[in-house]
Chain A
Amino acid sequence: MAARTGSLATALVAGLGLAAAVPGCTAEGSVSLHFDVPDDPALRPGGAASLTLVTQIDADAPRATTTQIGADGQVDLGDLPVADEVWLSAELRSAQGQLVGYGRASAPLAILADADVEATIPVRRPFAYIAGAGNRLVSVDASLGRSAGYQTQVALPGSAEVVADVAGTDLATVSAQGALAYVSTATHGASSLPGAQLGPSPTDAIATPDGAYLLVAHAGTSPQVSVIEVATGQVKVAPTPMAADRVATTRGSDGGWWGVALLGRATVDTGCPGSKLAVFRLTDPETATVIDAGAGISDVGGDARSGLIVLADRCGNRLLRFDPVSQAIDQAAIVDGIKAPTALAVLDGHVWAVGHDRLTTTSPEIPDGVIDAWLVVASADLDGDPSQVMELPPIVERVLAENADYPDQDLVQDLHANWVEADDLAISPSGDLLALTLSTILHGDALGDDGFGGVLIPRVDVTTQEYWLFDPSTTVTNQRIRTSCVADEGPCGAFCLVPDWSCLPDIDASVSGTFAPSGIAVLFGAR
């Protein structure tokens, strides 16, 4: 008995000792983050002077802390919030405030009050990638403006019809024949992720923000959406009754990842035939359901934060919300009054869209009836904040007269666009830059004088394809690459002054020569 009493006393002391030790258990923890940047100086963010760490918990407003970077790359991040799920992203900026690097953790971090936590965040230069140039991607560094080397090429083992950002660390490319391959963003070489053979005729691709799944839309004879488990390369298929033109993904209100494919993309501004939406869980794409969108939809974009898909109603001149879980389209427009939206991108509860508009006339002086065409940019919060719609200046292309090469003067004419249309849109991870590809059609009527011998300057038709990096806050186009420009002249008279015209090289040419962009991706960005 005495022995037992002694044991009990020991036990009670042990119990009190535990209580006293509680502060030890709750002693202040710490967070140590490794911002992983590429070794290659050409890919490593250059000139970073400060690091801004953005933390976000649930739906709270994000918190940003900026700190100067020490000479040895060390940064003091200040206090980080204790929470089960903290989303972290990092921005590297130059002394002038230019974004030179961006990174984001692919999963939330559990920050504990009483434990030391370590995590790695990949950080990359703010690259955009353009597909369609054959066996290479054109990479465009947004941090370099138009300075030397802002365009480079990434060699690929095969052609790339579409490209998608995979959590910032990899790029997925799919050839016209359906070969899926990955490129490491740390090396611009082959990635260790397993490739796969998909169906042919890819039209679009998007990865979930965590990089777990890749979705590829297909047209052609086997319309479908491929859903690839990125880590394993396992492929499942969502069958679609017609070509899947665009695809988007979001984390639904049920917590699962969902995919939505646009079938029958609207290609006209009036009288759009109705589109359809194929809706499926990424874990179970075979059971996709197809619903009528009730309007001609030209693009879809997913927002993982809200669980919504945004639809661009081209003929209705508006943007709508679609909940893939309930499969309901909210008819209350997020943006109402954006003319002919053709491309959109959604990031963190905010949508950007690009449409277009024209000024027409019945004046006989303008036989084709179109004076100008321009892009329209709209933005809005998905929660219904007032939207903004902004018209950009009309598109004007300057063409140069050939065979009229005077020693001290050139002969040029300005062609005003008859048509401009955004084909694709991506938004930078910081949410302040838009990367878009677009097509223009420009037309100049013939100048003639019947008394002087008929046509003096021929009709000139020009078609162009371009890449823009556009800052909507300043309406400045920071980068503009003309990937294609074709001039076609009509017949000219006996006294023709200038029969031949060519595109003026006043816009940056592509380092990959002439090609038609077929897809764009922005590292850590959104579509």
Chain B
Amino acid sequence: MSYSALALTLIFVLIPLLLSKTLKLGLEIDTIIATVRSIVQLLAVGYVLKFVFDSENFLFIILMVALMIGAATQNARKKGKEIRGITWKLIVTFLTIEVVTQGILIGLQIVPPTAQFIISISGMLIGNSMVLSILFLNRFASEIEGNRDETELILSLGGTPKQAIHRQLINAIKASMIPTIESQKTIGLVQLPGMMSGQIIAGADPIQAVQFQLIILFLLLSTAAVTSIMLGFLSYPALFNERMQMVRPKKTN
């Protein structure tokens, strides 16, 4: 696609701008910022990826993945600032997902160990894992806040922190996994996944595009489960101290 053809697609940015202006939604500046940022960021990533792919240097691949994990951690940690050591818990979670999934994919020769595959798949996995982490941390925080009485009751009766937080933890894990499972149920019927569509538009055989998409879907399913469960079990101990008390106790007089 030429840059002039790409420029024409800015019509699709003009539409929301005009609608926002007409209906006084006040979203014009945000829309312009989002457009400029997406152009700059994606073009920059495109050039960086071209450089990394051409260099065939494994160190650059590791640097790219580290950058993704760093950015994902930075974004997700804001939702879990109440949890001690959340930064490291997120890094360990993302790193585990990356190592386990890439280890299986490359180890079983499902995909070749090239920069194209490693970086593209890592981006999808870590991105998905980041969204899952944010969903989990949001839900976990509201579960804890909404069920303090029950947590305190179980502790007061001689339960362990794990017993006291178990129901809230399971609720948060399930709630964060449901969107991934539900979206996979309707895939192909309601929506064609972006990666598959991209491959087909670029001229790939649709069956081959579907095969790659299935790999990604299965990976995302695994990522969803590992992210929520791992982050959950790494996070809950930080809510209690060594005397099995809630670190932020319910306010009493």
Is this pair of chains taken from one and the same complex?
no
Binding site for B on A (CB under 8 A): none
